[in-house]
């Protein structure tokens, strides 16, 4: 349990950041699943795949900028998506 005012404030900040990070990571996972589903679909809807890939890459870049996702993981994710688009 926090004793000082600054420690209590740090706890509040940590809780807020954790919630924000959790929602952002969940959004990334959702977008990734959407891209995977569109890429593995039998009838490829290239326009929908391109739109989903663009949204996913943008979200990954933003998460990387705020150090939510490591830059190497982001590079792997973007590379995988570009492979889907090329196929």
pLDDT exceeds 80 at position 58: yes
Q: By CB neighbour count within 10 A (0-12 exposed, 13-18 middle, 19+ buried), where does 49 fall?
A: buried
Q: Assess whether pLDDT exceeds 80 at residue 42.
A: no
Under 8 Å between Cβ of 38 and 52: yes
CA distance 71 to 10: 27
Does position 45 have pLDDT exceeding 90, yes or no?
Answer: no
What pLDDT was estimated at residue 43? 72
Q: What is the pLDDT of residue 72?
A: 98
State mean pLDDT over 54-68: 96
Mean pLDDT, residues 44-68 taken together: 94
* Mean pLDDT, rounded, for 74-82: 96
Q: How confident is the model at residue 41 (pLDDT cuts 50, 70, 90)?
A: confident
- The per-residue DSSP string of 36-53 comes to HHHHH-SS--HHHHHHHH
């Amino acid at each position: 349990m926090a004793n000082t005012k600054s420690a209590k404030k740090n706890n509040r900040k940590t809780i807020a950041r954790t919630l924000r990070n959790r929602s952002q990571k969940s959004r990334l996972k959702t977008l990734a699943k959407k891209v995977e589903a569109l890429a593995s679909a039998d009838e490829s809807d290239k326009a929908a795949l391109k739109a989903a890939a663009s949204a996913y890459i943008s979200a990954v870049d933003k998460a990387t900028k705020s150090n939510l996702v490591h830059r190497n993981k982001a590079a792997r994710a973007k590379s995988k998506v570009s492979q889907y688009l090329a196929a």
